Amino acid sequence: RWRADAVLVWLELVMHMSQYNKECAENIKSGKVRLLSICLLVIELDLDNVLLGLSLGELEKCLNIENVLHRRKLWLGIEEFRNPACTVANMSAAGQLDHWWVCEQWLRDVGLTQYASRFREHLIDGRTLCSLTRKDLDRHLGMEGKKTHQDSALRGIELLRMLSFNTQRLDERRQMCQSCDADLLVWNNARLVQWAKSIDLKEYSSNLRDSGVHGALIVFDTTFTSDDMANALGIPVNKATVRRHLASEFDSLVK
């Protein structure tokens, strides 16, 4: 039921993909889009031809979208809106998280702010974030060969999936453990920095920033040990006493 101008508004204000408005306007004729399907395009040569099954490759051709993750983002957004009951007001929880939230909030929570420019370039929103694989992180988002950072991102996504992308619930749980060492699963990177300071490791605590260490990584990755935490904190191997102190505190925290 959307007219062409409504599609353009959705593309710009909801999807934040205004750079494709020109191509979209050229391919969508006002009043001729009868269905909001896998693609909202009408072929100009045949006004009755609505493409219900446009592939990602055809999206590239019709809208000149060369960026792989931009194509995926648009496809995922359109796929959600195929449901006639779906509106901007009742989108999925993941759909309500735009790329600014991912870049400014989520990357800070998982301690990977150094990748913000890459995530911003690829317009990674909640839906696209949920779809990311290790290969995507390696090829497109600047984490080439950085397994630890890839693990961090994937574990952070796993936590969001577990909570059905309900960020309000996540924030509430974080508030409840802000002053007590409980519910490690939801701790963000900043909370771990605070914890390090509280166990008399203030001189090393700042090293945790941008380390990719957060609660979900520690809980979900059973191979993550106190030695990994010591390395993230930058505690030298020859500081055996400090490392033993950390190991004791870390084991108590995890248990």
If you average pLDDT over every residue of the chain, what do you get?
A: 87
Rank 10-19, 41-50, 62-71 by mean pLDDT and report only the highest: 10-19
d(CA 96, CA 88): 8
In which band, very low, low, confident or very high, does the pLDDT at 62 lie, cut at 50, 70 and 90? low
**pLDDT tens-digit readout, 202-251:** 999 999 999 999 999 999 999 999 999 999 999 999 999 999 999 999 99
Rank 47-51, 86-90, 170-174 by mean pLDDT and report only the highest: 170-174
In which band, very low, low, confident or very high, does the pLDDT at 43 lie, cut at 50, 70 and 90? very low
Check residue 221 and give its pLDDT: 96
Check residue 36 and give its pLDDT: 42
pTM of the predicted model, to two decimals?
0.86
Quick one: average pLDDT of 117-132?
A: 97
Quick one: average pLDDT of 184-193?
A: 98
Domain range 93-254, its CATH number among 1.10.150.50, 1.20.58.220, 1.10.3470.10, 3.40.50.150? 1.10.150.50
Within 8 A by CB and 6+ apart from 210, the residues are: 111, 112, 113, 114
Q: pLDDT: is 66 or 42 the higher one?
A: 66
Q: What is the SS3 string spanning the chain?
A: CCCHHHHHHHHHHHCCCHHHHHHHHHHCCCCCCCCCCCCCCECCCCCCCECCCCCHHHHHHHHCCCCHHHHHHHHHHHHHHCCCCCCHHHCCCCCCCCHHHHHHHHHHHCCCHHHHHHHHHCCCCHHHHHHCCHHHHHHCCCCCCCHHHHHHHHHHHHHHHHCCCCHHHHHHHHHHCCCCCCCHHHCCHHHHHHHHHHCCCHHHHHHHCCCCCCHHHHHHCCCCCHHHHHHHHCCCCCCHHHHHHHHHHHHHHHC
Check residue 250 and give its pLDDT: 97
Domain ranges of the chain: 4-65, 93-254
Check residue 217 and give its pLDDT: 98
Percent of the residues in the chain that have a pLDDT greater than 90, as a whole number: 70
